[in-house]
Amino acid sequence: MSAQSLPQATSPTRRLPRINPVYVLVVALILAIIVMNPAFGEPTGYMNFLKRVTALAILSAGALYVIVSGGFDLSVGSIMTLTVIGSSMLASNDPNSTYWIIPLMLGIGAVIGLINGLVVSYLKVPSLIATLGMMITLNGVAFMWSGGAPRGYLPDTFRFFGRYNITDVPIISLLPIAVICLVVFGAILWWGMHRTNFGRMLHAVGDNQQAARLAGVPVERVRISAFVVSALTAVLAGVILGGRAGVSVDIGSGFELQAITAAVIGGAQLLGGRGSVPATIAGALALEAIFTLLNLLGLAQPVRLVVQGLILIGAVAFATYQRKRAGR
């Protein structure tokens, strides 16, 4: 009888299953949107929402690789801009050009990621400075390439990924290609982060670089790969965003911070060691849902920046508070 409290402590109903608060947040936000705007509950409503969020979601999941490895990648927005501008300049309205332009852009992205990674790993430049410098450089390159004003437009074959919907699908009636891209790339990024050795090494490097090195992790190679993944997803996000929104010179600006914000909302730990791809994608959904709500409330564009800044600081402060309370 003296151990009466023991069975209670081990009973399976003792505690709710641990669930990342971000999923609750997304559901709550989406319910709020549906209440304010019932049309959102229709397939066209939520499918368009998903279509809008795809670029950011893929981008954030890629940026998470760098965050988990213990760095920041602020060059992703400018890579998106470069992708869109470069593609429109190269395409010169030729629909058959898409087949070589996208691989070429991915190649450029890989080189940019490689440079970021090499500069951070071997020249020991803090990733924030290295990628900010890359951002300035790439924005300059995009301007140079377009001569200040982008000419031409993206052919429909290129815009297919961001704009096209498959209609007459049973139950959901329409299915944007972008949503398929989100599922496919989200799954690939989830697999890479959570089901491979590379993902485990990524976590190890971000958690404690010295320990990882002593345990035999090729730290430099892992960090460089993280930057390459991030840059490649930025190119993909650029292709999708360009397809949806068309060509403009500042199309990618601001996305780098939105990606970090999404990862932070998803519970990723800045400076490395913790992060989840599905939670980050949910973070991107939450951020976009907040922006949608602000729109519905009739608040102007600049309010987004304020809200984003508050979320960024708030989420990091909350995470620190929780870690401290957990005694870690």
Partner 1 sequence: MTDMPLPAKNPRRFRFERHASTILLLASVALYIALIIIMGQTRFLTLENLVAILSRSITLGITAIGQTFAILVASIDLSVASVISASAVVTSVVMNGNPAMMMPAVLAVLALGAVVGLLNGLVITKLEVNPLIATLGMSLIIQGVLSYYYNNFAGNVPVEFQIFAYGTLGIVPFSLIFMFVLAGCAWFVLRFSRFGSDVYSVGGNKDAARLAGIKTDRVVIRAHVICSLCAAIAGIYLASRLRSGAPWIGAEGVYDLESIAVVVIGGTVLAGGRGGIWGTMAGVIIFSLIDSIFNVAGVDAFVKQVLRGIIIVAAVAFYAARSKRPVA
Min dist CB 33 to partner 1, Å, is 21
Per-residue binding letters, 280-319, with partner 1 (x by CB under 8 A)? --------------------xxxxxxxxxxx-xx--xx--
**Cα 62 to Cα 68: distance, rounded to the nearest angstrom:** 10
The C-alpha atoms of residue 325 and residue 5 are separated, in whole angstroms, by 25
Contact 174, 37 (CB under 8 A): no
Nearer to partner 1 by Cβ, of 54 and 78: the residue is 78
Looking at the Cβ atoms of 48 and 75, the one nearer to partner 1 is 75
Pairing of strands 165-169, 173-176: antiparallel
* Tokens matching residue 188: 């690939």
Q: Could you tell me which stretch among 9-17, 97-105, 235-243, 270-278 binds partner 1 (CB under 8 A)?
A: 270-278
The reply on whether position 14 binds partner 1 by CB under 8 A is no
**Sole binder of partner 1 in the list 27, 141, 174, 249 (CB under 8 A):** 141
The residue from 34, 132, 188, 293 that contacts partner 1 (CB under 8 A) is 132
Q: What is the DSSP letter of 173?
A: E
Question: What does the per-residue mask of binding to partner 1 show for 193-232, with x meaning CB under 8 A?
Answer: ----------------xx----------------------
Contact (Cβ atoms closer than 8 angstroms) between residue 59 and residue 76: yes
Distance CA 109, CA 235 (A): 6
* Minimum separation from the CB atom of position 55 to partner 1 (A): 20
DSSP code at position 95: G
Among 28, 172, 180, 271, binds partner 1 (CB under 8 A): 271
Residue 95 or 314 having the CB closest to partner 1? 314
Q: Which of 134, 118, 123, 121 is nearest to 73 (CA)?
A: 134
74-93 residues near partner 1, rule: CB under 8 A: none
Give the nearer residue to partner 1 in terms of CB position, either 9 or 149: 149
Instruction: Number of residues interacting with partner 1: please give it, by CB under 8 A.
Output: 53
Here's the x/- map for partner 1, 108-127, by CB under 8 A: it reads as -----------xx-xxxxxx
Residues 43-72 that bind partner 1 (CB under 8 A): 70-72
Asked whether 151 and 89 are in contact (CB, 8 A), the reply is yes
Q: Determine the 3-state secondary structure of 87 from DSSP.
A: helix
268 close to 67: Cβ distance less than 8 angstroms: yes
**Shortest Å, Cβ 51 to partner 1:** 25
Tell me if 251 contacts partner 1 by CB under 8 A: no
- Considering only 14, 15, 324, 328, the residue that binds partner 1 (CB under 8 A) is 324
What gap in Å lies between CA 160 and CA 325, rounded to an integer?
49
Q: How far is the CB of 206 from partner 1 (least distance, A)?
A: 10
Residue with smaller CB distance to partner 1, 78 or 98: 78
Note the residues at the interface with partner 1 (CB under 8 A): 70-72, 119-120, 122-130, 132-141, 143-144, 148, 209-210, 257, 260, 264, 270-272, 300-310, 312-313, 316-317, 320-321, 324
